[in-house]
Amino acid sequence: VAVNMLVAEIPLKYTQFDLTQNEIFTVSEQTREILSSMDKDVTVYWITPQGYEDVYVQKMLDVYRDLADRLDVVKIDPILYPSFTSSYTTEKLYDNSLIFECGDRSMVVNSTEIFVYDLSNYYTTGEYSESFDGESRMTAAINYVISDDMPIVYTLTGHGESDLSVDMEDSVVNQNIEIQSLSLLTEGSVPDNCECLFI
């Protein structure tokens, strides 16, 4: 019993190994840097009914907690606290969604963003694929709530330009970069807070 209690106190990185095919629980160096340099307390509210915790989300949260001393995970049962999420979002949150909070800043990561379904072959073959996008969503959320200023990318409009594709827009937003439209016909010049101008 004493040995088991002692082993339980050892960080997971020394006692557990990622043997999944794509090493989905092995986080990138960028994530490690963000977590190790956290100078603010971050609370993650895990929205899940008791007994319905997803093992992938559980494992990833364990990895993050092991790498970040200032990260706290709190389970919220939506059956017991049905109005808890209303102060963070008006959208429907599915089981195993996450809410990241640091001070006045918060970000919601719905479970539909963590588990990504590719239905491109569904209508021809009846099959679909599922992927786990936990690291990119969780790291982006943490980076967002601990950052004071977000870089801004302006997209030029007013000359018949095409809109950004959904994939491109998602990629930019997932990096915690704000996208704003800019028409030089009305503004006259590029704003000083423009980090990048997308033409």
Provide DSSP, 42-76: EEEEEE--TT---HHHHHHHHHHHHH-TTEEEEEE
> Which amino acid type is present at position 156?
L
Asked if pLDDT for residue 43 goes beyond 70, the answer is yes
State pLDDT tens for residues 167-186. Answer: 888 778 777 788 889 988 88
| Dist. CA 5–CA 137, nearest whole Å | 33
State pLDDT tens for residues 15-34. Answer: 444 445 454 658 899 999 99
Place of tokens 């827009």: 169
In 3-state terms, what secondary structure has residue 38?
coil
| 81-97: average pLDDT | 94
In 3-state terms, what secondary structure has residue 126?
coil
Q: What percent of the chain is modeled with pLDDT above 70?
A: 86
Query: To the nearest whole number, what is the mean pLDDT of the chain?
Result: 85
Q: What angle do CA 116, 163, 129 make, to 5 degrees?
A: 15
Q: What percent of the chain is modeled with pLDDT above 90?
A: 45
- Greater pLDDT, 2 or 81: 81
- Greater pLDDT, 116 or 7: 116
CB atoms within 10 A of CB 79: 9
| Dist. CA 133–CA 129, nearest whole Å | 13
| Dist. CA 178–CA 3, nearest whole Å | 50
| Dist. CA 100–CA 88, nearest whole Å | 10
Place of tokens 């017991």: 80
